[in-house]
Amino acid sequence: MNQIIEIMKNWTKKNLDFGVWRIPNPKLTLLLTILLAVVGNKTMAQGLDDYLTHATENSPLLKASYSQYLASKERIDQPGLPDPELQVGVFLQPMERFMGTQLADYRLMQSFPWFGTIKAQKSEADFSSQAQYQLFMEVRNELFFQIKYTWFDLHRIQGEIDITKEILTYFHKLEELALTDFKASTGSRPSQTSKNPSNSNGEITQEKMSEINSSSGGTNGMAEVIQIRLEIKELENQLALLTSNQNSLFIKFNQLINRDIQDKIELNEKLQPPLLELDKYSLLDSIKEKNPMITKYENDALAYEQRAKIAKLEGNPKIGLGINYSPFLPRENDGIDHSDHSMDMLMPMVTLSLPIFRNKTEGKINEAKYLQEVATQNQLQTENLLAIQWAEAFQNWEDATRSLELYDQQIELVQQQINLLTTSFSNGSVPFSSVLKSQLKILNYQIKRIEAITLQYQSLSLLEKLSGINLINT
């Protein structure tokens, strides 16, 4: 492309006279101008971090998951001593006792679990809360991945739309150029009635087709015009499909970040090929260390271990301490002076549970051990699945990187080819179809290049989700 730019500059210097363009060859001027317009600058996308922040603050999915974590966190302070038990008995009729007349009976008891039970319960709740937090992190990472994946798809479609529009402009100009060549080959002159050999709908009339067939070289010239119009129709249909897909992705993106479906999304910048600095197997190590689901299952296993400990401790006796108080009234005329001492009874009490039914205790212990084994096996299975996802994501990254290098080389070669064909076409030594086919190659390679860059970013997004490491600089 740089060579074409230099040719354009040199051609400009040779054909500039007192600030006015002199056009010795209109076809060459038109082709060079269109080729210069097709190539645009590509810069790194901006704004993704803002959308991720908005999703973090407003996503109902994240809010629900985080509230679930906060709820589990409240369980940590719940274990403790059971509430004291107060029993009050009042006699409807005073009870005559040896010590006097008993009016009521009061009993206050406090039971205590076996030593270490409360600590184990708090540890179990703490590990369960940490597992719930890791589940929240997994939900967040999955949401971020979906947002990033859609974001890069939007950029891909926008890039394809831009290229398709530029090529459509190119073909419309070439249509005019081909019509000019056709009129010149048939010896016709432009007029108000015969400027275009088609009706108002762009269709060739039967009368004009007869005139074309009877003219020398008219058939080939008109065939080129029809070929261009076929390409224009195909590109217009492709543009309509891309626009429809883009609108659907706009709605999806807005819903992912919990915004109104009609809110505008800015896609002003274009993506540059990203760089991956970390080693392939370093990423795998990071995935095994930092993936939320692996950490979740680790905490689940520790929580079930504490649950088994709790079940074992609860199988021990429970101790209760308390006091019993019975107020008495002295009997009348019993001949005893009660002024110096009280007749009320105060009795310390101790209770001890007898855990003789061991089946439920053993059942709870075995249940916790089985659940701990489930968590351990789930962790191993998750590591295997993550390794598979890591391998697929890295393969996609490597394939996209290789393809991108190939497309860049192919675009450079085709640009050189167009440079040569443009000069030959202006001299009439090559047919128009050669230039058309080369330009179509540019279109296809540019679209494939955008798809390769998109695949790079989406692969990095998946690796970010798996490893928890920021690999994309936005």
pLDDT tens track for 452-471: 999 999 999 999 999 988 88
Q: How far apart are CA 412 and CA 414, in angstroms?
A: 6
Where residue 100 falls (left for φ over 0; alpha for ψ -120 to 50; beta otherwise) is left
Q: What's the pLDDT tens digit per position in 404-419?
A: 999 999 999 998 998 8
Decide if pLDDT at 247 tops 70.
yes
Q: How far apart are CA 313 and CA 368, in angstroms?
A: 13
Strands (DSSP E) contained in 24-154 are: 85-96, 101-112
- Gyration radius of the chain's alpha carbons: 42
Average of per-residue pLDDT across 149-162: 95
Counts of helices then strands in the chain (DSSP H, E): 11, 7
Strands 16-17 and 85-96 come out as: unpaired
pLDDT of residue 407: 95
How far, CA to CA in Å, does 68 sit from each of 97, 134, 159, 433, 457?
59, 11, 41, 65, 32
pTM here is 0.77
The pair of three-digit structure tokens given for residue 408, joined into one six-digit string = 């860049």
Helix then strand then coil, % of the chain, to nearest 5: 65, 10, 25
> Where does the pLDDT of residue 179 fall: very low under 50, low under 70, confident under 90, or very high at 90 and above?
confident
**Nearest alpha carbon to residue 98 among 326, 331, 337, 342:** 331
Q: How far apart are CA 215 and CA 187, in angstroms?
A: 9
Q: What's the pLDDT tens digit per position in 60-88?
A: 999 999 999 999 999 999 999 999 999 99
Decide if pLDDT at 44 tops 50.
no
The pair of three-digit structure tokens given for residue 206, joined into one six-digit string = 């039967």
Specify which of 48-57, 126-135, 227-236 reaches the highest per-range mean pLDDT.
Answer: 126-135
Decide if pLDDT at 210 tops 50.
no
pLDDT of residue 451: 95
With a CB cutoff of 8 Å and minimum separation 6, the contacts of 21 are 15, 29
How far, CA to CA in Å, does 313 sit from each of 122, 308, 355?
14, 9, 11
CA angle 230/234/235 to nearest 5° reads 115
Decide if pLDDT at 119 tops 70.
yes
The pair of three-digit structure tokens given for residue 160, joined into one six-digit string = 């394809």
> Where does the pLDDT of residue 5 fall: very low under 50, low under 70, confident under 90, or very high at 90 and above?
very low
Q: What's the pLDDT tens digit per position in 372-413?
A: 999 999 999 999 999 999 999 999 999 999 999 999 999 999
Q: How far apart are CA 106 and CA 83, in angstroms?
A: 17
Local structure of residue 20 (DSSP, 8 states): E
pLDDT of residue 183: 78
Query: Phi and psi for 321 in degrees, rounded to 5?
Result: -120, 140
pLDDT of residue 304: 97
pLDDT of residue 213: 45
The pair of three-digit structure tokens given for residue 109, joined into one six-digit string = 């008891």
**Nearest alpha carbon to residue 36 among 155, 160, 166:** 166
Residue 323 pairs with which residues in a beta bridge?
Answer: 108, 348
pLDDT of residue 465: 95
**Nearest alpha carbon to residue 414 among 397, 439, 432:** 439
pLDDT of residue 187: 60
Mean residue pLDDT across the chain: 82
Least confident of 69-73, 121-125, 248-252, 330-334: 330-334
Decide if pLDDT at 25 tops 80.
no
Average of per-residue pLDDT across 199-214: 46
Q: How far apart are CA 440 and CA 438, in angstroms?
A: 5
> How many C-beta atoms lie closer than 10 Å to residue 291's C-beta?
24
The pair of three-digit structure tokens given for residue 438, joined into one six-digit string = 């080369």
Q: What's the pLDDT tens digit per position in 6-21?
A: 433 443 344 433 333 3
**Nearest alpha carbon to residue 466 among 153, 144, 141:** 141
The pair of three-digit structure tokens given for residue 21, joined into one six-digit string = 């363009």
Task: Return the SS3 of 324.
Answer: strand
pLDDT of residue 296: 97
* Residue 248, burial from CB neighbour count under 10 angstroms (0-12, 13-18, 19+): exposed
C-alpha of 423 from chain center:
48
Residue 111 pairs with which residues in a beta bridge?
Answer: 320
Query: For residues 140 and 65, is the Cβ–Cβ distance under 8 A?
Result: yes
Q: How far apart are CA 197 and CA 428, in angstroms?
A: 23
Residue 89 pairs with which residues in a beta bridge?
Answer: 105
